[in-house]
């Protein structure tokens, strides 16, 4: 856990009057939720359309296996699309989509309904049934959203894999989820060039069995290899389908999707989300945290659909609330560093939600860039993925928000499905750098190692002490791991989040980063063990230790220490590049180590555990901490002598 400064020069920012006066939720919401938590969530669920009402809000008779809205039935796609069309909003834009090369598509709710119905019919023709798993490996194009909703519409479980992941990572997820259909594209545009996806699918499918169909969207028009009988073009299959499809209502606990995330072991965990509780909490939080006004807001979550942020706040939350969203395919610097600001200006974005790492990159590029665009439509800003340092918060507030927009710093996880700790824009006096308060109806506490609740002005571990509607239901295929990972440290009623947290004297919660062996690089969770096992998978490497070292832009950077096999030759830079590329190929470019140091020894405790804390000190060039439990303290001197070399940039 790294120390985060909690000094904000005492500055707080009270909610602007224009926001408070018309806010979707006011201060009473906290009292209401604490008076009767379940009634509060039931009321939130009533914002959705239920085909059959529930009998019981929560069944927690077998913790930690929760059932929310027991007996209720609904269709997620109907709630996100059809119901708005039926209510007369078919002409409203659901997405202003913009491709990286500058091509655009405007998709209304009526069009989305037709497209999702066609895709649902296509999946049925491919033999997909309710409960089947469908892998989605796509760029940021409308078909990605359409594919997800088509799955939800027919009760199939989607499993989106971020397009930056390697064929290996894709293959292992397909195997673990048991997916039989893959939806992909020839490629997508990134950094000014087409980036291929289909070849990765072809390669992945040589390493996993059971996939019978691959549905391919044409996006970049790159050449693709074709496996007859297995591969089918989206435009051939989907376009000829009927735009009529009658959605079926599914049980509130019917599985909606699996999303893999890194844990403390090399094997990623398939986080399972279900139907009714998930949609209730993403829809409600999206409406309350972002004060979403469907008739006037232009909402933009600038993230990839391949992560949970995209699932909850590009797709399900915004659509359930009938938002008009912006969706952008590419990177912020293409073709120039003002691209995002140009998009805000062009579409009149009013609410922007993104990650601190992007804000810090913008800071590096300089305030002149946002100053060159009209950003006055913005009224609210959000942050997610890692702690936002007060300096970045203040810069975001001033140079993007023009000093007038509240910033909601939202703490949550793939596992929580939706916002858990966040200010509310019409209520909370903002403290830069702190996520501040549990969302109404959420019970978050800071505890010591024994699980005792800590008072104000203390530091400990973050736990959630009551179940919540959008909580994960299990780890796909591994109930034991679900219990062990989240519900064993403090018993079966207490969810251990894996984050350190501090409560300040005013009761604000400050998130301090992971306390386990998980790194956070640009808001992406990467397991140290996963990178270590990739490194030792290379023929030259005998042993590896990986740490997340603090990094001014990405939050943490991956630093690896490797011991070579006796037979391997240390060719210096060349070997380091080979190993970095090996990890990128193995896991994906986001896992490419910033720095790799070849060493003779690794610091270990007497019980043989690698002392990552010391390696982190080295990687961050700090004075060494306590080395008394080391087997051989000269190891650290040896490692320090090897200290290189400026970290690599790419
Ligand atoms: C981990 C979850 C939530 C979607 C994106 C990441 C860190 C997330 C914050 C925040 C401080 C944050 C935590 C958490 N995190 N949001 N506002 N302040 N830390 O989802 O990949 O599941 O990662 O991200 O460490 O445990 P994820």
Report the nearest-CA residue for atom 23 of ligand 1. 413
Report the nearest-CA residue for atom 7 of ligand 1. 386
Token digits of residue 638 = 């040896």
Token digits of residue 60 = 């927690």
Q: Could you report the per-residue pLDDT of 456-473, keeping only the tens digit for each?
A: 989 999 999 999 999 999
**Distance from the first to the final alpha carbon of the chain:** 26
CA 505 – CA 196 distance, rounded (Å)? 51
**pLDDT confidence tier of residue 606, bands split at 50, 70 and 90:** low
Tracing tokens 């909690």 back to the chain, one arrives at 6
Which numbered atom of ligand 1 lies nearest the CA of 415?
Answer: 22
Report the nearest-CA residue for atom 3 of ligand 1. 413
Q: Could you report the per-residue pLDDT of 326-374, keeping only the tens digit for each?
A: 999 999 999 999 999 999 999 999 999 999 989 989 998 999 999 999 9
User: Of 139, 121, 131, nearest to 184 (Cα)?
Assistant: 139
CA 647 – CA 650 distance, rounded (Å)? 9
Q: What pLDDT score was predicted for residue 206?
A: 98
- 584-594 average pLDDT score: 93
Token digits of residue 385 = 């993925």
Token digits of residue 173 = 């997820």
Q: For residue 4, is pLDDT > 50?
A: no
CA 287 – CA 312 distance, rounded (Å)? 12
**Sign of the CA dihedral with 603 first, then 605, 608, and 614 last:** negative
Which numbered atom of ligand 1 lies nearest the CA of 514?
Answer: 25
User: Where are the alpha helices (H) located in 192-270, listed in sequence order?
Assistant: 198-204, 234-237
Q: How far is CA 112 from CA 136, 144, 324, 343, 359, in A?
A: 18, 12, 12, 22, 32
Contacts of 101 (CB under 8 A, 6+ apart): 189
**pLDDT confidence tier of residue 602, bands split at 50, 70 and 90:** confident
Token digits of residue 546 = 């990986």
| Chain mean pLDDT for the chain | 93
Contacts of 70 (CB under 8 A, 6+ apart): 54, 55, 56, 57, 58, 59, 252, 253
Which of 64-68, 262-266, 430-434 is least confident? 262-266
Q: What pLDDT score was predicted for residue 630?
A: 61
Q: For residue 8, is pLDDT > 70?
A: no
CA 286 – CA 290 distance, rounded (Å)? 6
Span from the CA of 469 to the centroid of ligand 1 (angstroms): 18
Q: For residue 634, is pLDDT > 80?
A: no
Q: How far is CA 153 from CA 78, 215, 256, 470, in A?
A: 7, 17, 10, 19
Span from the CA of 411 to the centroid of ligand 1 (angstroms): 6
% of the chain at pLDDT higher than 90? 80
- 620-648 average pLDDT score: 63
Span from the CA of 94 to the centroid of ligand 1 (angstroms): 27
**pLDDT confidence tier of residue 484, bands split at 50, 70 and 90:** very high
Helices 142-154, 109-125: crossing angle, 10 deg rounding: 60
Token digits of residue 394 = 């203040």
Report the nearest-CA residue for atom 12 of ligand 1. 386
Span from the CA of 472 to the centroid of ligand 1 (angstroms): 15
Report the nearest-CA residue for atom 2 of ligand 1. 413
Token digits of residue 77 = 């796609």
Contacts of 61 (CB under 8 A, 6+ apart): none
Which of 101-110, 220-229, 577-586, 615-624 is least confident? 615-624
Span from the CA of 517 to the centroid of ligand 1 (angstroms): 14
Q: What pLDDT score was predicted for residue 648?
A: 44
Q: For residue 613, is pLDDT > 50?
A: yes
Give 355-406 as a DSSP string: -HHHHHHHHHH-THHHHTS--TT--EEEEESSPPPHHHHHHIIIIITTTTS-
Containing 67, the helix (H) or strand (E) segment is strand 67-70
Report the nearest-CA residue for atom 8 of ligand 1. 385
Task: Determine the residue of 162, 412, 462, 508 to mutate for testing ligand 1's pocket, defined as the one with the most ligand atoms within 8 A of the Cβ atom.
Answer: 412
CA 315 – CA 299 distance, rounded (Å)? 11
Please name each of the domains of the chain with its CATH number.
Answer: 107-258 (3.40.50.980), 521-642 (3.30.300.30)
Span from the CA of 413 to the centroid of ligand 1 (angstroms): 5
Span from the CA of 558 to the centroid of ligand 1 (angstroms): 17
Which numbered atom of ligand 1 lies nearest the CA of 421?
Answer: 17
CA 349 – CA 299 distance, rounded (Å)? 6
Q: For residue 188, is pLDDT > 50?
A: yes
Side-chain-side CA neighbours of residue 282 (13 Å): 33
Peptide bond into 420 cis (omega under 30): no
Tracing tokens 């901490």 back to the chain, one arrives at 625
Report the nearest-CA residue for atom 21 of ligand 1. 525
Proportion of the chain in helix, strand, coil states, percent, rounded to 5:
30, 25, 45
277 near 284, Cβ under 8 Å? no
Q: What pLDDT score was predicted for residue 647?
A: 45
DSSP-assigned letter for residue 647: P
Which residues is 527 bridged to in the sheet? 518
Task: Determine the residue of 162, 356, 408, 413 to mutate for testing ligand 1's pocket, defined as the one with the most ligand atoms within 8 A of the Cβ atom.
Answer: 413
157 near 132, Cβ under 8 Å? yes
Burial class (CB in 10 A: 0-12, 13-18, 19+), 22: exposed
Contacts of 186 (CB under 8 A, 6+ apart): 196, 197, 198, 216, 217, 218, 219, 220, 221, 222, 224
134 near 179, Cβ under 8 Å? yes
Token digits of residue 425 = 């824009």
Contacts of 608 (CB under 8 A, 6+ apart): none
Three-state DSSP class for 79? helix
184 near 137, Cβ under 8 Å? yes
With a Cβ cut-off of 6 Å, ligand 1 is lined by 261, 308-309, 384-387, 409-414, 435, 497-499, 511, 514, 520, 523, 525
Q: What pLDDT score was predicted for residue 1?
A: 31
User: Of 42, 39, 117, 50, nearest to 85 (Cα)?
Assistant: 117
Span from the CA of 515 to the centroid of ligand 1 (angstroms): 12
Task: Determine the residue of 311, 463, 514, 525 to mutate for testing ligand 1's pocket, defined as the one with the most ligand atoms within 8 A of the Cβ atom.
Answer: 525
Give 278-330 as a DSSP string: HHHHHHHHHHHHTT--TTT-EEEE-S-TTSHHHIIIIIIHHHHTT-EEEEE-S
Peptide bond into 335 cis (omega under 30): yes
Q: For residue 568, is pLDDT > 90?
A: no
| Global pTM exceeds 0.85 | yes
Which numbered atom of ligand 1 lies nearest the CA of 513?
Answer: 25
CA 451 – CA 136 distance, rounded (Å)? 40
Q: For residue 640, is pLDDT > 90?
A: no
CA 415 – CA 473 distance, rounded (Å)? 9
- Based on its alpha-carbon atoms, the radius of gyration of the chain, rounded to whole angstroms, reads 24
Token digits of residue 406 = 């509240």
CA 600 – CA 413 distance, rounded (Å)? 38
Task: Determine the residue of 282, 312, 386 to mutate for testing ligand 1's pocket, defined as the one with the most ligand atoms within 8 A of the Cβ atom.
Answer: 386
Q: Could you report the per-residue pLDDT of 115-131, keeping only the tens digit for each?
A: 999 999 999 999 999 99
Task: Determine the residue of 411, 470, 502, 508 to mutate for testing ligand 1's pocket, defined as the one with the most ligand atoms within 8 A of the Cβ atom.
Answer: 411
Report the nearest-CA residue for atom 1 of ligand 1. 413
Q: How far is CA 25 from CA 16, 283, 370, in A?
A: 14, 14, 31
Report the nearest-CA residue for atom 6 of ligand 1. 385
Task: Determine the residue of 511, 554, 590 to mutate for testing ligand 1's pocket, defined as the one with the most ligand atoms within 8 A of the Cβ atom.
Answer: 511
């Amino acid at each position: 856990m790294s120390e985060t400064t909690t000094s904000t020069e005492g500055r707080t920012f009270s909610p602007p009057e224009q926001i408070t006066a018309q806010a979707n939720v006011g201060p009473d919401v906290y009292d209401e939720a604490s008076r009767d938590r379940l009634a509060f969530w039931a009321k939130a669920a009533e914002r959705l359309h239920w085909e059959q009402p529930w009998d019981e809000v929560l069944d927690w008779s077998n913790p930690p296996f929760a059932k929310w809205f027991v007996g209720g039935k609904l269709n997620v796609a109907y709630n996100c699309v059809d119901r708005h069309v039926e209510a007369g909003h078919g002409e409203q834009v659901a997405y202003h989509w913009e491709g990286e090369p500058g091509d655009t598509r405007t998709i209304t709710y009526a069009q989305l309904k037709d497209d999702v119905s066609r895709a649902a019919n296509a999946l049925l023709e491919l033999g997909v049934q309710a409960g089947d798993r469908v892998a989605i490996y796509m760029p940021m194009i409308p078909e990605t959203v359409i594919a997800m909703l088509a799955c939800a519409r027919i009760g199939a479980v989607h499993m989106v894999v971020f397009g930056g992941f390697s064929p290996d990572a894709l293959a292992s997820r397909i195997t673990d989820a048991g997916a039989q259909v893959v939806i992909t594209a020839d490629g997508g545009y990134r950094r000014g060039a087409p980036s291929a996806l289909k070849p990765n699918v072809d390669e992945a499918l040589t390493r996993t069995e059971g996939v019978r169909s691959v549905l391919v969207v044409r996006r970049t028009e790159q050449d693709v290899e074709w496996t007859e009988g297995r591969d089918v073009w989206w435009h051939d299959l989907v376009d000829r389908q009927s735009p009529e499809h009658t959605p079926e209502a599914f049980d509130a606990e019917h599985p909606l999707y699996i999303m893999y995330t890194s844990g403390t072991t090399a094997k990623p965990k398939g986080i399972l989300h279900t139907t009714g509780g998930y949609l209730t909490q993403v829809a409600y939080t999206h409406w309350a945290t972002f004060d979403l006004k469907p008739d006037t807001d232009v909402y933009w979550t600038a993230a990839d659909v391949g992560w949970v942020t995209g699932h909850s706040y590009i797709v399900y939350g915004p659509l359930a609330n009938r938002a008009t969203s912006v969706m952008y395919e590419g990177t912020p610097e293409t073709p120039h560093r003002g691209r995002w600001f140009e998009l805000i200006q062009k579409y009149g974005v009013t609410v922007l939600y993104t990650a601190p790492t992007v804000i810090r990159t913008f800071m590096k590029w300089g305030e002149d860039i946002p100053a060159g665009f009209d950003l006055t439509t913005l009224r609210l800003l959000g942050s997610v993925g890692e702690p936002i340092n007060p300096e970045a918060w203040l810069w975001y507030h001033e140079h993007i928000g023009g000093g007038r927009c509240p910033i909601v710093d939202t703490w949550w996880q793939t596992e929580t499905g939706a916002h858990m700790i966040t200010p509310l824009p019409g209520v909370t006096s903002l403290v830069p750098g702190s996520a501040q308060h549990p969302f109404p109806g959420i019970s978050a506490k800071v505890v010591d190692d024994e699980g005792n609740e800590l008072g104000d002005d203390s530091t400990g571990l973050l736990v959630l002490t009551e179940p919540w509607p959008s909580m994960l239901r299990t780890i796909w295929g591994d109930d034991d791991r679900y219990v062990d990972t989240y519900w064993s440290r403090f018993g079966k009623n207490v969810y251990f989040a894996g984050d350190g947290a501090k409560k300040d004297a005013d009761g604000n919660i400050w998130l301090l980063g992971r306390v386990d062996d998980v790194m956070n690089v640009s808001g992406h969770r990467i397991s140290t063990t996963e990178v270590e096992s990739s490194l030792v998978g290379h023929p030259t490497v005998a042993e590896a230790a990986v740490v997340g070292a603090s990094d001014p832009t990405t939050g943490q950077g991956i630093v690896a220490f490797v011991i070579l096999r006796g037979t391997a030759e240390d060719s210096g830079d060349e070997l380091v590049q080979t190993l970095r590329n090996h990890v990128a190929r193995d896991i994906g470019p986001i896992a490419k180590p910033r720095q790799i140091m070849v060493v003779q020894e690794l610091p270990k405790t007497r019980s043989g555990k690698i002392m990552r804390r010391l390696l982190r000190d080295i990687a961050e060039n700090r004075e060494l901490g306590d080395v008394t439990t080391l087997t051989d303290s000269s190891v650290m001197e040896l490692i320090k002598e090897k200290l290189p070399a400026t970290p690599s940039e790419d």
